[in-house]
Amino acid sequence: MNTKTILIVDDEPRTRQGLKKTLDAWADGKYQIFTAANGEEAIGLMQKQKVHILITDIRMPEITGLQLLKMAKEQNIFPVMIVISAYSEFEYAQEALRLGVINYLLKPISKKALIEAVEDALQAVEKQERAGMMEKVVDKKLVDASTQNPLDRGPIREAMDYINKNIKNELTQKEVADHVHLNPSYLSVLFKEHVKLNFSEYVTRRRIQRAKELLITTNFPINDIAEESGYKTAKYFIKIFKELEGMTPSAYRKNQQ
């Protein structure tokens, strides 16, 4: 279940309930919306429950909104943050921006402004999640291969692009060499020199990277993922995946979830 969670923190009950009511009507059950009356209650809730979007008042007794944001960061809690305030003092806005707040709303908040701010925040959450996902699947050797930049790497860059585009298909060194108009054995030498991986290892790593992306982002059966990654049989795909990742594709998928 990947329901996004929104937490509203405000010490004024009317404001707190008003914001919740607006968001409940807008969310129509798609998101979980919680409230907290103060910073302490908010931190307690965030420790127990993943909060994707935090909407907090700045002026609160005991723990201010800005202190709450600092405390969350110190505890490695990183929701997308929106602050609200009845005060338009510039230093509050400046400090909030330094802490990574994406929106600063002034009271009284219109329903439209609140909903727009939350919609922007949801986009930011999705962007963060995509980045986190790519970090999980990234293969350091492939990143290094892409960032190496020798002067005469035109045909090698072209060969890598061709492999990446055709990863679902059977790929031979001869086919790729023909595509970039090089002799296969010369391509082999150049490839190893520039990419720091031999041809077949690069192809295997690209196939497994593709498989990892599909395992995390789709519910495709393992057979389909094997095929999409360029493997004729699921059995051989599972064997290669396990050699490279130390676990089966099913275990990898379960781990990431």
Q: CB of 106 within 8 A of CB of 86?
A: yes
Cβ–Cβ < 8 Å for 56, 100: no
**Do β-strands 5-9 and 80-85 pair in parallel, antiparallel, or remain unpaired?**
unpaired
12 and 18 Cβ atoms separated by less than 8 Å: no
- Taking only the tens place, the pLDDT of each residue in 30-88 is 999 999 999 999 999 999 999 999 999 998 999 999 999 999 999 999 999 999 988 77
Instruction: Please confirm whether the linkage preceding 184 is cis (ω < 30° from 0).
Output: no
The answer on pLDDT for 1 being more than 50 is no
Structure tokens given for 121:
């925040």
Handedness of CA 1, 24, 67, 103 (dihedral sign): positive
Instruction: Please answer whether residues 33 and 6 qualify as being in contact, where contact means their C-beta atoms are separated by less than 8 angstroms.
Output: yes
Q: For position 97, what pLDDT does the model report?
A: 85
Q: How confident is the model at residue 257 (pLDDT cuts 50, 70, 90)?
A: low
Q: What number is the average pLDDT over the span 19-36?
A: 97
pTM: 0.67
Domains of the chain: 5-131 (3.40.50.2300), 140-256 (1.10.10.60)
- d(CA 225, CA 210) in angstroms, rounded, equals 9
